[in-house]
Amino acid sequence: MTRNSYQDLASSAPEKIRLSASSKLFYVICYLAVILIAAVCLVPFMLLLSGSFTAEQWIRFHGFGLFPGEFSLEAYQIIFKTPERILRAYGVSIFITAVGTGTGLILTTLTAYVISRKDFRYRNVLSFFFYFTTLFNGGMVSTYIFYIQYLHLKDNLLALILPGMFNVFYLLIMRTFVNTVPVALIESAKLDGAGEWRTFLQIVLPLLKPGLATIGLFLALGYWNDWYNAMLYLNSEDLYPLQYMLYAIQQQTQALAKIASQAGIQVANLPSNSLKLAMAVVATGPIVVVYPFVQKYFIAGITIGSVKG
C-alpha cells in the first residue's frame, strides 16, 4: 500500500466526535449522580460489614461506623462455634435452592410456552385459571393441613421446595419473554419437520436466556431467604436451612441473655447487635458472589418490553 493510499484511508476514517460544553456538563452530572447513588447503596453494606467485626461494647457506646472501632470476631465465633451445624445448613440451603430453582424454571418455562401459543385451544382458560389463583387462595391453615395430613411432608425437605416452585407472577414474566420469540422461527421449524419438543429445546429455549436468568434469580433468592416454611414444617435441626439455623442461633442467644438477666448474672460481652449483622453477612455472602454472573441477563430481563419496534 502506497503512502497516498494510507492518506486516503486516514481521510476516510470517521472523525472523532467532539462534545459541546453543554454535553460535557451533562455527562459530568450523570457520572456524579451515578457515583452518588452507588455510594448510597454501598454505605449500608459497609456499615453491615464493619458492624459485624466490631465489639458489642463499642457499638453500644459509639454506634456503628464505616470501619470497626474495636475489632472483634466474637459474633462470628458464636455463629461458627459448631461449624458442622452451619456447614450442614449451608448444604441444605444449596440443595433446596438448586432443586427448587431448576424445577421451577422447567415448570414455568414450559407453562409459559404453552399458554403463549396461539394455536393452543385452551390457552385463555388456563391463563384465567392461573390468574384466578393470584386473587384467591386457600390460606395458611388449609395449606398447612394439606401438606401435613395429605402429603405427609412434616420434617421433609419437600415441604420447603414445593411452596416456592411455581409462581404465577414469574409465569407472566416468562410469557412476556416467550412472546418476544418470532413466530416465524417456530413455523419454520415445523416446516422442517421439527416436533414440539425439538422446537422448544433447540429454537425457543436458547432465545430465553435473559428470562431464564431473571426468573432463576428470583426463584433462587426466594429459596435462599426462606425461613418461614422451615419454621412451619421442620422439627429436626439436621434439616434446618441456613436462614432458619441463623434465626435459631439468634433466638438461643437472646434466650440465654434473658435467663442470665433474670438470674442476676451479668453477661456484658454477649453480642447482640454485632451478631445480627454477622448473620446477615453469612447469609448474603453467596448471593453477592453469584449475582455478578447473572447481572447482564437480569438487567435485560427487567427492561423487556420497554423498547418497541
- Mean pLDDT, residues 198-202: 88
- Mean pLDDT, residues 190-197: 83
Percent of the chain with pLDDT over 90: 14
Q: In the predicted model, what is the mean pLDDT of the chain? A: 81
Question: Which span out of 77-86, 213-222, 243-252 was modeled with the highest average pLDDT?
Answer: 213-222
Cα 52 versus chain centre, distance: 23
pTM of the model: 0.76
Domain ranges of the chain: 20-72, 74-302
In this structure, of 89-98, 147-156, 260-269, the range with the lowest mean pLDDT score is: 260-269
Only one residue has cell 439436621, namely 238
Q: 149: alpha, beta or left, given left = phi > 0 and alpha = psi -120 to 50?
A: alpha
Q: Which three cell numbers stand for residue 216?
A: 432463576
Residue 183, Cβ neighbours under 10 Å: how many? 12
Q: Which three cell numbers stand for residue 97?
A: 435452592
How many Cα atoms sit within 13 Å of 7 on the Cβ side? 3
In this structure, of 104-108, 178-182, 289-293, the range with the lowest mean pLDDT score is: 289-293
CATH level 3 topology of 74-302: MetI-like fold (1.10.3720)
